[in-house]
Chains A and B, each alone.
Chain A
């Protein structure tokens, strides 16, 4: 109610001479505008920003809850350990490999699928629904299915299908790969690509369907080949959607915990930073080291996020300028 009257009073005050009275009223108006925002803002600062400040403080401390006597200031010791400890270094490397490969592969697959789904064909809606399904399986459940029902070297669907296909050709000696032990990181990557390709497809499909069709039609009229249209019209238009998908995907996948936890429990060099941090504080009780590693993740994310924010902002400005 206050805001409704406030607006009217603002209109009135614009013609009046600025006096002490109107200034006070204007302040009341701007507070009335801010009021609905404050609960959300305060809640978010308390629950997300404060804990990070605490993390920052702990990261400079020597703190293992199992040996409380040694607690104290540690300077940059924890950070030095993060970048020298083989386990942590491996975790940083794993995080980078995992994130980059999942993002790139799912972007390429998502682009291909989006281009196909942009055309009209029978049952397109149903095909699209089927393609979204992987994204709507609970991540823990998806990881369990991949580990036990699909990649299992003895009973998994992949090796079972290989046996079946080979037997069709009369061979009883089919290849039986064991991705879980020969290339465990690959197993995690495959399951993540499967889950994230629909996400990329949805964003790129939305991008494709917002193409200005008049230019494409004009190019077709002028006899441009489909490839030329794709290369010079579609791809430039899709660029910011590719960036957005890639960067948002990166931000989510850097944080992946579920797949690592379920598929390998971080064994065989597959622990990424979130998993390594979890282990460091939850099992090893090395609070200082875990916090320093957490700060390293945040720094990495900030670098990626700066680009992400810029992309979101440019899309946002376009929308706001309509």
Chain B
């Protein structure tokens, strides 16, 4: 598995050769710990399984009937069926989760597009053609991310109420854009910084226009980074509860909001809850595994590669 880049450039020992920025990978010299590997492997696998048990249990239970889901000791080998999923999609209650899922998709996709539209030019002005004091600007972006949402949510709520934007999915789109913008600027900057200076200079000497440079020089290098940034922004928007809970209601409620009101407390519902959790987590699981390589870089705001 070579999913993690050996972060050569940041090791305290300077890379032996290559002052050219083109190839920054150092040789993959790894310690060769032949000892204890079997033991470490077994321990790692046991712990990995232990951590995965709640997820696996959630998936298994979602295919059980409600009666099999509520037994003590658990019925691991019970018959599998799709009843819980049918229930989640409103087979008997008639309440469909689709509006909330569509709201979540709208909020996540449109806010991600907006974030990219704002963050890519900003990152360009912070890396490829940096403004003066660009580090200060970069850290200003980061500092806004450190302010808890809860400290700004009341004014936003009051504003939405006055402006008639309560329970409006497009207001939530704007909120999610601001929530993800600092992360996206940081990530994108670190991806754009990977574009070799020589290539930019060569393009300039050849008289390439800005558009051509963007398309032929910058885009090929930055594309995987842009994709990963988009996926991570999508995940954060999809997961968000507090803002959605305060700013939306019946019409614009997102999937997490739907999920919090889903448990009625009457009768058996464990299988149904598991099915709901599976359905709502699927987009995040897909996006997360697709962005696996760049996940660390995104979550650490570009500080760790």
B12 in complex: contacting residue of A119, A155, A212, CB < 8 Å = A212
Please give, as numbers and ranges, the residues of chain B lying within 8 Å of A49 by CB-CB distance.
Answer: 144
Q: Is the CB of A121 within 8 A of B178?
A: no
Measured in the bound complex, the distance between the Cα atoms of B300 and A295 in whole Å is 25
B197-247: which have CB < 8 Å to A?
A: 204, 208-211, 213, 235, 238-239, 241-242, 245-246
Q: Is the CB of B256 within 8 A of A258?
A: yes
Measured in the bound complex, the distance between the Cα atoms of B255 and A1 in whole Å is 43
Q: Is the CB of B151 within 8 A of A297?
A: yes
Measured in the bound complex, the distance between the Cα atoms of B135 and A315 in whole Å is 13
Given the known interface contacts A315-B303, A318-B10, the answer about A202 and B295 at a Cβ–Cβ threshold of 8 Å is yes
Please give, as numbers and ranges, the residues of chain A lying within 8 Å of B270 by CB-CB distance.
Answer: 148-149, 152, 155
Please give, as numbers and ranges, the residues of chain B lying within 8 Å of A210 by CB-CB distance.
Answer: 6-8, 10-11, 305
B8 to chain A, nearest CB (A): 7
Measured in the bound complex, the distance between the Cα atoms of B126 and A49 in whole Å is 21
Given the known interface contacts A30-B132, A149-B273, the answer about A137 and B55 at a Cβ–Cβ threshold of 8 Å is yes
- How would residues 265 to 302 of chain B score, 1 for a CB under 8 Å from any chain A CB and 0 otherwise? 00001100110110011001100110010011001110
Question: Is A51 in contact with chain B by the CB < 8 A criterion?
Answer: yes
Nearest CB in chain A to that of B259: its residue: A140
Please give, as numbers and ranges, the residues of chain B lying within 8 Å of A133 by CB-CB distance.
Answer: 51-52, 55, 285
Q: Is the CB of A51 within 8 A of B152?
A: yes
Question: Is A100 in contact with chain B by the CB < 8 A criterion?
Answer: no
Question: Is A131 in contact with chain B by the CB < 8 A criterion?
Answer: yes
B215 to chain A, nearest CB (A): 13
B269 in complex: contacting residue of A4, A129, A148, A202, CB < 8 Å = A148
Measured in the bound complex, the distance between the Cα atoms of B48 and A119 in whole Å is 14
Q: Is the CB of A261 within 8 A of B241?
A: yes
B242 to chain A, nearest CB (A): 5
Q: Is the CB of B147 within 8 A of A145?
A: no
Q: Is the CB of A48 within 8 A of B152?
A: yes
Q: Is the CB of A274 within 8 A of B299?
A: no
B27 to chain A, nearest CB (A): 9
Q: Is the CB of A157 within 8 A of B292?
A: no
B139 in complex: contacting residue of A3, A47, A55, A309, CB < 8 Å = A309
Please give, as numbers and ranges, the residues of chain A lying within 8 Å of B242 by CB-CB distance.
Answer: 257-258, 274, 278
A230 to chain B, nearest CB (A): 11
Please give, as numbers and ranges, the residues of chain B lying within 8 Å of A152 by CB-CB distance.
Answer: 270
Measured in the bound complex, the distance between the Cα atoms of B274 and A161 in whole Å is 18
Measured in the bound complex, the distance between the Cα atoms of B284 and A273 in whole Å is 27
Interface size class of A (residues with CB under 8 A): 35 or more
Q: Is the CB of B277 within 8 A of A291?
A: no
Please give, as numbers and ranges, the residues of chain A lying within 8 Å of B300 by CB-CB distance.
Answer: 203, 206, 244-245, 248
The stretch among A12-20, A35-43, A81-89, A178-186 that forms the contact with chain B is: A35-43
B153 to chain A, nearest CB (A): 8
Measured in the bound complex, the distance between the Cα atoms of B139 and A44 in whole Å is 13
Question: Is A60 in contact with chain B by the CB < 8 A criterion?
Answer: no
Question: Is B260 in contact with chain A by the CB < 8 A criterion?
Answer: yes
Measured in the bound complex, the distance between the Cα atoms of B74 and A159 in whole Å is 9
Please give, as numbers and ranges, the residues of chain A lying within 8 Å of B301 by CB-CB distance.
Answer: 248, 312
A182-204: which have CB < 8 Å to B?
A: 194, 197-199, 202-203
Measured in the bound complex, the distance between the Cα atoms of B208 and A237 in whole Å is 43
Measured in the bound complex, the distance between the Cα atoms of B45 and A124 in whole Å is 8
A117, A145, A309, most chain B CB atoms within 10 A: A145
Question: Is A207 in contact with chain B by the CB < 8 A criterion?
Answer: yes
Question: Is B40 in contact with chain A by the CB < 8 A criterion?
Answer: yes
Given the known interface contacts A41-B122, A52-B152, the answer about A281 and B157 at a Cβ–Cβ threshold of 8 Å is yes
Measured in the bound complex, the distance between the Cα atoms of B273 and A145 in whole Å is 7
Question: Is B175 in contact with chain A by the CB < 8 A criterion?
Answer: yes
Given the known interface contacts A54-B155, A150-B57, A209-B7, the answer about A136 and B40 at a Cβ–Cβ threshold of 8 Å is no
Measured in the bound complex, the distance between the Cα atoms of B187 and A96 in whole Å is 30
Q: Is the CB of B151 within 8 A of A52?
A: yes
Q: Is the CB of A209 within 8 A of B259?
A: no
Nearest CB in chain A to that of B45: its residue: A127
Measured in the bound complex, the distance between the Cα atoms of B256 and A262 in whole Å is 11
B13 in complex: contacting residue of A33, A55, A160, A215, CB < 8 Å = A215
Given the known interface contacts A33-B129, A133-B285, the answer about A43 and B177 at a Cβ–Cβ threshold of 8 Å is yes
Nearest CB in chain B to that of A215: its residue: B13
Question: Is B91 in contact with chain A by the CB < 8 A criterion?
Answer: no
Q: Is the CB of A261 within 8 A of B260?
A: yes
Please give, as numbers and ranges, the residues of chain B lying within 8 Å of A144 by CB-CB distance.
Answer: 259, 263, 273, 276-277
Please give, as numbers and ranges, the residues of chain A lying within 8 Å of B144 by CB-CB distance.
Answer: 44, 48-49
Give chain B's interface residues, CB within 8 Å of chain A.
1, 3-4, 6-13, 15, 24, 29-31, 33, 36-38, 40-41, 43-45, 47-49, 51-55, 57-58, 61, 69-74, 118-119, 121-122, 124-126, 129-132, 135, 137, 139-144, 146-159, 174-175, 177-178, 181-182, 185, 190, 204, 208-211, 213, 235, 238-239, 241-242, 245-246, 255-256, 259-260, 263, 269-270, 273-274, 276-277, 280-281, 284-285, 288-289, 292, 295-296, 299-301, 303-305
Kindly list the 8 A-B residue pairs having the minimum CB-CB distance in the complex, ordered from nearest. Answer: A121-B41, A36-B121, A125-B1, A141-B277, A210-B7, A136-B288, A54-B155, A164-B73
List 5 A-B residue pairs with CB atoms under 8 Å apart, sorted by A's residue number.
A54-B154, A127-B48, A203-B299, A309-B142, A316-B303
- Kindly list 14 other residue pairs between chains A and B, CB separation below 8 angstroms, not including A36-B124, A161-B74: A4-B204, A44-B144, A51-B152, A113-B47, A116-B44, A133-B52, A136-B288, A138-B284, A149-B274, A161-B73, A210-B10, A274-B242, A301-B146, A305-B146
